[in-house]
Amino acid sequence: MRRDNTTPPRLADRLLEWYCNPVLLEDLQGDLYERHIRRLKKYGRFRTRLAYFWDVLSFIRPYTIRRDSHRSIRPFGMLPNYLKTSYRSLVKQRLNSLINILGLSLGLSAFVLICLYVNDELKYDRYLPNAERIYRITLSYTSESSSEHAAWSDPAVGPALKLSYPEVEAYTALINEKILVSHGERTFNEEQFFFAYPDFFKVFSYDFEKKGSHTDLEEGTVVLTSKMARKYFEEADPIGQTLLINNQAYQVSGVLKDLPSHTDLKFDALIGTDDLSKISGWTFNYVLFKNESDAATFQPKLDKTFEDTFQDEFEAYGVEARLHMEALPDVHFGSKKLYDTPKSDKNNLYIFSTVAFLILIIAGINYVNISLANTARRQTEVGVRKSIGAYQSQLRAQFLFESLIVCFISLTLALLTIWFFLPYLNVLTEKQISWREIMSPNMSVFLLVTTIVLGMVTGSYPAFYLSSARPVEVLKGRIVLKGKSLLRRGLVALQFTVSIALIIATLFVYRQLQLIKTKSHGYDKDQVMVIDIPGLESDQSMLRGFKNKLLEYPFVSSASIVGFNAWPTADMPVDVYEVEINDSWQLKPFNNIEVDQHYFDVLGLNLTEGRSFNANDMNGRLDVVVVNQAMIKQAGWSDPLQQQVTFEDGATATVIGVVDDFHFNSFHEAVEPILIFPDDGYAEKILLKISAKDWYQSVATIETVWREVMEGQPLEFRLLDEYFQQQYKSEQTLRAIFTYFMAVAMIIACLGLFGLISLYTQQKLKEVSLRKIFGARVFQLFFTLSREFLILLLIAFVVATPLALFSMKAWLESFVYKTALSLDVFLIAGSLILLVSLMTMSFHIFKTLRTNPAKTLKYD
Amino acid sequence: MKGTNLGEFEELVLLAVAAMQEEAYSLAITDEINRVTNRNITFGVVHSALNRMEKKGFVISEMGGATNERGGRRKRIFKISAAGKKALVKSKEQREEFWNMIPKYVFDQK
């Protein structure tokens, strides 16, 4: 029919044709057309068309809806029946169902735990409303010999940028210092009190719990976090009260809600100041752009500002420097810079996610494999169902439904497992992931979707395959569907490839950590206490007095007062010196630390030439210096003891000793040149070497002495070993997680193997019985039954080895000292998996071998 | 037996079907009922009542002629079945019985 103005709306017509039962369609549509024409004469076109839509919609009623001929009239269709048969088949094959559910729930729980971890990591510093517009300004500097990138830059950077460029909406800078804070009777040493520019809250819009009249962080005011407010003021209202910070009065102008745990910039309080450079020449610098897009084109402007304002200073020392910008959300995963906030390794996240995914795949394979191996049992059911009139699509739905049920049971179990293991994950990763996180909308939807996809994917192959059985042949008793052995074998090999690769990787991570632990870093880290020195009121004589008093006790074998970041594992300060390098005088930045004469004893450092400091050197003149071997090597000194090192101000120091190289920092870095100066004037820590066995008694004694000398200050200390472990934290987490993953992967793979071998031995029962009658020995029969799997294992081993080798090589790249990729690791991994799988298989194999052949062959 | 009962509204529709003969298709029946009773019954209600009664066996239907304004689609012409006639007669007799029971004076006293 020709369509013209009088025809009803096409869309409505289509809808009608789609839903309406064909038997009713013709005359109903005719009636509606007639009505439409009639209406058209009375009303406007629009109203008529609208009415037609309404008519079509109002005819959607139970009796008009089209029914596919094979679709059931019952409201839930075959669903109740599927539920019943699924239940029956699960119960009937108890062992296989158990293996499937255990495997899937283990896999899912490992997967979900890692998702929680990754999810938590990705949240870092993204919660601020304008996080995308906040950038951190960092500084890199390069000289001929070294190149560093520091998280800090000059506090004048922010003001300079704001002055020149309108797209900079606000800036702030902050730096912490050790300070003494008191309110009334309460006095504490604080390390996480940051001095900051007044515009801090324009950049970082943290939530206030209580606020005074000022919105800025004005000079002379301090903003506390809720935790600190309670510490100093308990229940009282802190607003307007006074805190003495380094004996200067500051007014509390606000209380922040405690910071969320997903931030690397953790501060306890902010102290307002207009001139940060008085506090430090190096600060964390942040700018807030007006628009997100401003950042993309800003680097040249940053360079320009640097050239105009800061470059001269650096050039004078022969150092090439540059400012960089780093988006706040990227800081957490960025490369670790000097003096940086804590970092996370994005590579670890990738590794964990990959492994979690692989484990889920292994678990899925178990399901597919066992259902494929079970084909023979299910095909009779398929045949019967088909002959009573089931459609193939219905059977597919039935099998998919069954696998969905299995997946959801597994999910429930997995959630229980996670509930149990989450606290351990939190301890391991030093996080506070809440159980409630799983219930968050994103996570729960993600979980549901993952489970449904898992069910669909694992269920689909068996579903499509099994439902294709032809009823006539099945019911005649012919076996129509063979258990697709090639696919099954491939999947088993894949499972074992993943397991073996994980074992190898785990073993290498262990080896590398072992290397780190046992290979000496060149200094003695055991039994060394690192005591914090409070920032103020701890003058030289007091500290020396403390030290000397302690040395009188027999359990203190030596003690050393050290300056800023002068204890191993810390980021050493870097300054520029003029040094004769390869017979020419050059300005270069060098690591330098300031320590007293006992530093070498405490750390057990070995002097190869010259002497270490004596008491006379500790005069604050810094006219002598001890260097390490790396320094000599770099400078090409043939006679180091005659060399001079010149400071910025022209003063010189003579090299009086050479110390053996030691790994001040982790094995991720090579040993760098170090200049060691004698000075205890700017003391930061006291290192104590304790030789006593009774550790607690010693600490108690030290504390008494400390309080006596330091006028009641609390003793705060850590062990050098703690600092040492800290620098390999990421590797230790990796090792722990890999160990668990490896175990989970092996358990799942073995579960699958266990299920498969039980079906396999049943199929081979007759063969074994016959062979037994003909006199085969147990050993031969064992080989007959396990041969297929042993070959698969071999294939998996051959595939896994290069994969593991390749990835471990990449991982070890980040270490200067690498463990050898030695053959024995592969052999250990190979024999481990062989042993475990033989043990897994032996249960069913021996069960089969013990069967009386007469019983099996009786009916043939 | 439930389902073979003739409802009040169904009776009305059935009467219309019996009265209209060859012209008894859903839309025309709706119009006719609305004209006679001066009510505003929707097409959908009549359509579903017809459908229901066909299932109960009170009406039978066959496809009739097509017109241009129906887009060439045929009408479904409903006819009253034997069971339908019986049900109508039964219903009429029941009513008459009541009519007969009403004393004369009920209507005489005005």
- Given this model, what pLDDT does residue A75 score? 54
Q: What is the mean pLDDT of residues A775-794?
A: 88
CB atoms within 10 A of CB A798: 12
CB within 8 Å: A29 and B63: no
Q: How far is A80 from chain B (nearest CA, A)?
A: 28
User: Among A113-122, A580-589, A639-648, which range has the highest average pLDDT?
Assistant: A113-122
Q: DSSP character for A648?
A: T
Q: Which of A21, A31, A33 to mutate to test the interface with B (most CBs of B within 10 A)?
A: A31
Residue of chain B whose Cα is closest to the Cα of A57? B44
What are the beta bridge partners of residue A186? Answer: A183
Contacts of A35 in chain B (CB under 8 A): 27, 43
Closest alpha carbon within chain B to A61: B48
Residue B45: its chain A contacts at CB < 8 A? none
From the list A24, A37, A59, which residue is nearest B44 (CB)? A59
Residue A796 neighbours by CB under 8 Å, 6+ apart:
A493, A494, A495, A496, A497, A499, A500
CB A720 within 8 A of CB A528: yes
Does the distance separating the beta carbons of B25 and A27 come in below 8 Å? yes
The mean pLDDT value for A695-700 works out to 85
- pTM of full prediction above 0.90: no
Nearest CA in chain B to A37: B69
Chain B environment of A33 (Cβ under 8 Å): 69-71, 73
Query: What proportion of chain A, given as a percentage, has pLDDT over 70?
Result: 96
Chain B residues whose CB is inside 8 A of the A10 CB are: none
Q: Taking CA atoms, what residue in B is nearest to A35?
A: B27
pLDDT tens column, A352-386: 898 889 999 999 998 888 887 777 778 888 888 88
The CA distance from A16 to the nearest CA of chain B, in Å, is: 14
Nearest to A34 among B48, B63, B69 (CB): B69
Contact A302, A287 (CB under 8 A): no
Helix axes of A22-42 and A45-58: crossing angle, nearest 10 degrees: 150
- Residue A162 pLDDT more than 60? yes
Task: Say yes or no for a CB contact (<8 Å) between B71 and A29.
Answer: yes
Who among B43, B48, B75 is closest to A61 (CB)? Answer: B48
pLDDT at B2: 45
Average pLDDT over residues A397-422: 92
- Nearest chain A alpha carbon to B76: A27
Residues of B in contact with A28 (CB under 8 A): 26, 47
Give φ, ψ of A573 to 5 degrees. Answer: -70, 150
Tell me whether residues A63 and B48 touch, CB distance under 8 A: yes
pLDDT band at A1 (very low <50, low <70, confident <90, very high): very low
Give A410's pLDDT tier (boundaries 50, 70, 90).
very high
Best of B34, B55, B73 to disrupt the A interface (most A CBs within 10 Å) is B73
Judged by CB atoms closer than 8 Å, whether chains meet at A58 and B44 is answered as: yes
Hey, is the C-beta of A779 within 8 angstroms of any chain B C-beta? no
Q: Does A37 touch chain B (CB under 8 A)?
A: yes
User: Rounded to 5 degrees, what are φ and ψ at A618?
Assistant: -80, 55
Q: Is the complex ipTM higher than 0.85? A: yes
| A161: nearest Cα among A152, A170, A150, A149 | A170
**How much of chain A, in percent, has pLDDT values that exceed 90?**
17
| Residue of A1, A24, A59 lying closest to B71 (CB–CB) | A1
- What are the residues whose beta carbons fall under 8 Å from the beta carbon of B42, sequence distance 6 or more? A58, B30
Q: Is the pLDDT of residue A69 over 60?
A: no
Q: Per the CB < 8 Å rule, is A26 touching B74? A: yes
Cα–Cα distance measured from residue A194 to residue A176, given in angstroms and rounded to the nearest whole number? 4
List the end-to-end C-alpha distance of chain A, in Å, as a whole number.
Answer: 73
Contact with chain B for residue A51, Cβ under 8 A: no
Q: Is residue A48 within 8 angstroms of chain B, CB to CB? A: no
Please judge whether A59 and B71 are an interchain contact, meaning their C-beta atoms are less than 8 angstroms apart: no
Is there a contact between A31 and B25 if contact means CB atoms under 8 Å apart?
Answer: yes
Question: How far off is chain A from B31, nearest CA to CA, in Å?
Answer: 11
Q: Please write the tens of the pLDDT for every residue from B25-55.
A: 999 999 999 999 998 899 999 999 999 899 8
CB contact under 8 A, A31 and B26: yes
- Which residues of B fall within a CB distance of 8 Å from A30? 66, 70-71, 73-75
In Å, how far is B87's CA from the nearest CA of chain A? 24
A408 touching B, CB under 8 A?
Answer: no
How confident is the model at residue B13, as a pLDDT? 93
Alpha-carbon distance A856 to B104, whole Å? 97
Question: Are B52 and A29 within 8 A, CB to CB?
Answer: no
Predicted confidence (pLDDT) per residue in A419-468, tens digit: 998 998 888 887 888 888 888 888 899 999 999 999 999 888 888 888 88
- pLDDT for A573 equals 83
What residues of chain A lie within 8 A of the CB of B72, using their CB? Answer: 1
Q: Looking at the complex, does the CB of residue A24 fall below 8 Å from at least one CB of chain B? A: yes
Q: Provide, as residue numbers in chain A, all residues whose Cβ is less than 8 Å from the Cβ of B42.
A: 58
Token readout for A333 is: 């995963």
Using the Cβ of A61 and the Cβ atoms of chain B, whether some distance falls under 8 Å is answered with yes
- Three-state SS at A588: strand
Average pLDDT, chain A: 86
Rounded to whole angstroms, the Cα distance separating A130 from A287 reads 11
Identify the residue whose tokens are 């010259």: A610
Task: Kindly list the residues from chain A whose CB atom is less than 8 angstroms away from the CB atom of residue B25.
Answer: 27, 31
Interface touch A29/B26, C-beta < 8 Å: no
Q: Looking at the complex, report in whole angstroms how far the Cα of residue B8 sits from the nearest Cα belonging to chain A.
A: 21
- Closest CA–CA distance from residue B57 to any residue of chain A (Å): 16
From the list B67, B69, B73, the residue facing A29 with the nearest CB is: B73
Query: Tokens 């590398």 correspond to what residue?
Result: A512
Query: Which pLDDT score, from 0 to 100, does residue B1 have?
Result: 40
Distance, C-alpha A620 to centroid of its chain: 46
Q: How near does any CA of chain A get to the CA of B96, in Å?
A: 35
Is B74 in contact with A61 (Cβ distance < 8 A)? no
| β-bridge mates for residue A189, sequence order | A180
Rounded distance, CA A43 to CA A497, Å?
75
Token representation of residue A156: 């004048």
Q: What is the 3-state secondary structure (H, E, C) of A126-193?
A: CCCCCHHHEEEEEEEEECCCCEEEECCECCCHHHHHHHHCCCEEEEEEEEECCEEEEECCEEEEECCE
Which tens digit of pLDDT belongs to each residue from A173-221?
Answer: 999 887 888 888 888 888 889 999 988 998 998 888 888 777 778 888 9
Using a CB-CB cut-off of 8 Å, the residues of chain B touching A59 are 44, 47
**Alpha-carbon gap, residue A305 to A299, rounded angstroms:** 10
The pLDDT tens digits of the residues spanning A221-260 come to 999 999 999 888 888 888 888 888 888 899 998 899 988 8
pLDDT, mean of residues A3-9: 73
Which chain B residues contact residue A23 at CB under 8 A? Answer: none
Q: Taking CB atoms and an 8 Å limit, are B52 and A63 in contact across chains? A: yes
Helices and strands, number each (H, E), in chain B = 5, 2
Q: For residue A37, which residues of chain B lie inside 8 Å, CB to CB?
A: 69
pLDDT value at residue A431: 83
Interchain proximity A31–B70, CB inside 8 Å = yes
* B30, B32, B41, B43: best to mutate for the A interface, most A CBs within 10 A: B43
